[in-house]
Structures are given as structure tokens and as C-alpha cells.
Amino acid sequence: MPFRVDYGWPVLTSPCGKWHSQQGNLYQWCEDKGYWKQNVNYLASVPTQYGCTTFEEQFYRLIRKIEAGELRRKNQGNSYYLSEDNKLTKVRELEATDGTQAL
């Protein structure tokens, strides 16, 4: 599956749309809140670090481990929106650029 590269990292989104990666960070869709939250886990700088051959394989392996409870599921505090060009933007930055007050 082809993917975009951003700052040397692949930009991947899981088929179910629940997980996304950008600049090596993992993000999880919080359906009840309507935005993305950054997960504490991240892609290694080289896929072979986790015994994988590609970043895509590493992405899905990390997701499986998180969902199985083998890795921490904790999300960090910032909230993100995914734009039409498949880039995540912090809620605070998005609101500041459209003239509304930031959170």
C-alpha cells in the first residue's frame, strides 16, 4: 500500500480509521470525543528495531500489541483533527488560525 512520507516518516492510517501515524507518532481516534489523541507509543526510527521489515509492518504490529494490552494504551493530552490532506493539526492551532479563541 503506498503512503506519503513526512519528515522521513511514513504517514499511515489503519483501514478501520482508528489509528494514524505522522512523524513517527501514533494517534488513536477517540470516537466519543470526535478527535485524535496522541498515543505514548511511537514508530522506531528503523523498522528492524522491532523485528519488522517495513514501517507499515511495524505500525500494525504496534497497534496489535496496544489493543492486546501488551503495550500502554495511554494517550497524551493534546487533541488533533485530521485535515483533508491527511495531516493532523492540534485543536489549539486550528482554532487560532480560524480566528476563534483557542482552548
**Strand boundaries in 1-103, DSSP class E:** 4-6, 9-13, 19-22, 25-30, 35-42, 75-82, 88-90
Quick: pLDDT tens for 9-57.
Answer: 888 999 989 999 998 999 998 888 788 888 888 999 888 888 899 999 9
pTM, full prediction: 0.72
Q: Are strands 9-13 and 4-6 parallel, antiparallel or unpaired?
A: antiparallel
Q: Is 100 exposed, middle or buried (CB count within 10 Å of its CB: 0-12, 13-18, 19+)?
A: exposed
pLDDT higher at 95 or 67: 67
